[in-house]
Structure 1
Amino acid sequence: MFSSHQLFFFFFLIFFSVIHISTSVNTCPISCHATGLGPVIRFPFRRNDQPFPCGYPGFELSCNNRSQTILNLPKLGNFTVQNINYKSQTIWINDPDYCLPKRFRSFSLSDTPFSVENLMEFTFYNCSSVGNTVTDVPGSRMVSCMSGDKFTVVAVPTYWSNVSGQGIPGSCSVIDTVVIPFFWPSWSGLEQGVPLKWDDPDCMSCEERGGTCGFENDNTPIWSVGCANLPGSGLPRSAKYGIVIGVAIPGLLSFIGIACYLCGRVRNYYHRRSRHSGTEFMSTIMPQSMIILIGLDTSTIESYPKTLLGESGRLPKPSDNTCSICLCEYQPKEILRTIPECNHYFHVSCIDEWLRLNATCPMCRNSPEGSAAVTPSTSTSSSSSSLL
């Protein structure tokens, strides 16, 4: 059965589990800035110091010493995160030095969960700024962060630079031809960055309904994503857990108490039953020849000789100077009684009371003459005779 310490430990463990569930769910949304500025990091993203169930694999973010949110893209390096739109599943990234064209000269999103909607091939030119109007080239875009005092870097769509009559000045030399996101050449403002999209995990429907997207089971090896805490769908999961456990614990304690009570009743019943059966068994196997002795009658006891001690207090047996029943020494003028068969002395009051209950000498355990002996066979025959 459960002890009180075990029950207390069981209750404490369940209570701690409920608190842990509520805490782990509420601490996943986080920000790199102490005041909460900047994009909120939540599923499928997680900060690299958060527990694994907070985010989906490949969506790890970090914080730099300027409290900026950082996304690391393999083959491209670190980018600052300016905004995350969870409903459209779009993340806006930028170069920490605000020079995206330079970073996109080796643009590749392989080994990442992200993609771009449109890509375009551009050719970068290094042109001398003396006597040239490079920006007059149709479709060209000046890259100021890559330009210097005596040269200008421009990017021109490759297909446009190959159109007849749209040549590039001879003072311009090709730097590189790369494929970059189509959004960037619109030059709506490099400070806005470039949007990247993700398709898996798909949380758009959950976000649009105002729910919380996350793993259905933190311990499952399959990345199963579900939607929880939908408006109007009832209590949050942690609250439901608390209610269920709050009802289950008193019910369990009541069940254990009733079980202990019933077990005690059953145990007492079988204990009495076994004791009664043992008594019957002993009476059944008792040898028929066993003699049961009972005490002596008053006349027999009175027939035993008495002795009055004199002033000297001497006895026929000097060693018998103490009553073996009350363990007191004999005093002058006391009356003693002797059992004739063994000549042992005792106080009269002590030995008379003893012999009424026992038919044996307290010292040698011999049975004096005149004691009554009853055997089971005698009792049985007497009963049979009376019945006749």
Structure 2
Amino acid sequence: MSKNSKSMDSYKIVCCLFFFFFPQFLITVSGSTEICSSSACSWGEAKVRFPFRLKNRHLRQCGYPGFDLFCDSLNQTVLELPNSGKFSIHAIDYETQNIWINDPEYCLPKRLLTLNLSGSPFTGVFYQDFTLFNCTSDYKRYQLDPIACLSGEKYTVFASSDERAISFLASKCNLIATVAVPVQWTFFEPVMSSDLGSDLLLRWAAPLCGRCESRGGRCRLKSNSSTEIECSNVSRRHGLPRGARYAMTVGAGVPAILFLVGLLCCVCGRVKRYGMQRRSVVEFTSMVTPHATTISGLDNSTIESYPKTVLGESRRLPKPDDSICSICLSEYRPKETLRSIPECQHCFHAECIDEWLRMNASCPICRNSPNSS
């Protein structure tokens, strides 16, 4: 047996003895990457990772206190609020720290009557007051949307945030309650009638992992701590933000096109006579010579004051025709962050309109100048 073979056998024996007497070392090394990896109750359900954890699938140190989830009998992802009971989770955005929940029994209006977020790490992002009425007459001719799960054969329940509708229903029906509903928009028109079945938008403030997630990293608890966190596995492989991609496209694409045009003009010019070539070069030079321009945009504090929101699963917008960002020409998708211009309420991707307003103090669609004060 060679000397190298003996050394290799000795190394294997030492490793086996080490992990036999210190198995917790192996768990510490591999547990954070395997046991605490993302999981889901079923295909199509929200992916669960820190600060959340799935009971019976993740160890306690894989999640943050108060963020325990579990899978019900239908393999739905369920969150249990201390003072309001169980809610199904429809989506989680770890970068914006938003979560969309609904009633697993498909009667969210009933749950709203007793909704209490105290004692949980979640709060509503935007609230809108809705008043519920119990009406014994047939109000179908008024084109109001009934709340089916609260209505019966001889009575119908309606909910509205519009003062005129509330005044009308108050004179005809019995008042049930007025509840503050966590809605999904910072700007909205009063709703004549709603079935209140849309997902509720909630947000958590701690632990603060949004910046880590935006950089492609993952949050986790520090060793020997139950509340302190750290950011790990920060990588650029997850791509650049939309605004950076937009700026890089404009910055690199335009000079490249000008270079190709110039090269083509030079090649064609060599074929022509000397006099025509000289005139072409002069015309081309005057065409591509940049003119002095003054960039007059808005400052960051003004831009940040404009309403900003996260698009829900229903992709419901204040203006039904606003389904595509007019700057990048991409269709809006759920959980994307949008920003609107208050004067005209036109919506755009937040990254796109931020870049635009820094260079142009006007709306890309209607060209109206926003109030820069």
TM-score, with length taken from structure 1: 0.50
| 2:222 aligned residue (186, 197, 216) | 216
Contact 1:39/1:81 (<8 A) preserved: yes
Change (3 A) 1:189 1:212: farther
| CA shift digits 1:212-263 (9 cap, x unpaired) | 111122x125x11111011169xxxxxxxxxxxxxxxxxxxxxxxxxxxxxx
Change (3 A) 1:27 1:8: closer
| CA shift digits 1:43-90 (9 cap, x unpaired) | 000112221110000000011111111100122110111111111111
1:24 CA displacement:
3.8
RMSD: 3.3
Aligned partner of 2:39 in structure 1 is: 30
1:159 CA displacement:
5.3
Change (3 A) 1:66 1:48: same
Contact 1:92/1:195 (<8 A) preserved: yes
CA distance in 1 between partners of 2:170 and 2:197 (Å): 29
Percentage identity across paired residues of the two chains: 37
Give the aligned residue type for 2:44: L
Change (3 A) 1:151 1:15: closer
Residues 307-346 of structure 1: pairs in structure 2 closer than 5 A: none
Give the aligned residue type for 2:46: P
Stretches of structure 2 that go unaligned for 5 or more consecutive residues are: 1-10, 238-373
Give the aligned residue type for 1:212: R
Give the aligned residue type for 2:90: Q
| 1:196 aligned residue (188, 198, 202) | 202
| CA shift digits 1:140-194 (9 cap, x unpaired) | 75322212232210112385567xxx43264411122222223498689866511
> 1:22 is paired with a residue of what secondary structure?
helix
Contact 2:100/2:200 (<8 A) preserved: yes
CA distance in 2 between partners of 1:134 and 1:181 (Å): 29
Give yes or no for the alignment of 1:93 onto 2:97: no
Give the aligned residue type for 2:177: D
Q: How many residues align structurally?
A: 220
CA distance in 2 between partners of 1:169 and 1:202 (Å): 44
Change (3 A) 1:18 1:8: closer
CA distance in 2 between partners of 1:96 and 1:8 (Å): 49
Aligned partner of 2:157 in structure 1 is: 153
CA distance in 2 between partners of 1:119 and 1:103 (Å): 16
Higher alpha-carbon deviation: 116-125 or 44-53: 116-125
CA distance in 2 between partners of 1:231 and 1:141 (Å): 48
1:134 CA displacement:
7.4
1:133 CA displacement:
5.1
Give the aligned residue type for 2:157: V
Change (3 A) 1:134 1:51: farther
CA distance in 1 between partners of 2:133 and 2:196 (Å): 19
CA distance in 1 between partners of 2:141 and 2:55 (Å): 45
Higher alpha-carbon deviation: 171-180 or 111-120: 171-180
CA distance in 2 between partners of 1:103 and 1:180 (Å): 11
Give the aligned residue type for 1:157: S
> 1:207 is paired with a residue of what secondary structure?
helix
CA distance in 2 between partners of 1:212 and 1:188 (Å): 39
1:92 CA displacement:
0.9
Contact 2:87/2:101 (<8 A) preserved: yes
Residues 118-129 of structure 1: pairs in structure 2 closer than 5 A: 118-129=126-137
CA distance in 2 between partners of 1:227 and 1:114 (Å): 22
| 2:212 aligned residue (171, 192, 206) | 206
Aligned partner of 1:172 in structure 2 is: 173
Contact 1:127/1:134 (<8 A) preserved: no
Change (3 A) 1:194 1:226: same
CA distance in 1 between partners of 2:30 and 2:198 (Å): 37
CA distance in 1 between partners of 2:94 and 2:121 (Å): 15
| CA shift digits 1:248-282 (9 cap, x unpaired) | xxxxxxxxxxxxxxxxxxxxxxxxxxxxxxxxxxx
> 1:106 is paired with a residue of what secondary structure?
coil
Contact 2:209/2:219 (<8 A) preserved: yes
Contact 2:216/2:236 (<8 A) preserved: no
Contact 1:46/1:55 (<8 A) preserved: yes
| 1:112 aligned residue (109, 115, 120) | 120
CA distance in 2 between partners of 1:190 and 1:170 (Å): 22
Contact 1:42/1:55 (<8 A) preserved: yes
Change (3 A) 1:6 1:228: closer
Aligned partner of 2:53 in structure 1 is: 46
Contact 1:125/1:153 (<8 A) preserved: yes
Give the aligned residue type for 1:87: E
CA distance in 1 between partners of 2:233 and 2:195 (Å): 38
> 1:168 is paired with a residue of what secondary structure?
helix
Give the aligned residue type for 1:200: A
TM-score, with length taken from structure 2: 0.52
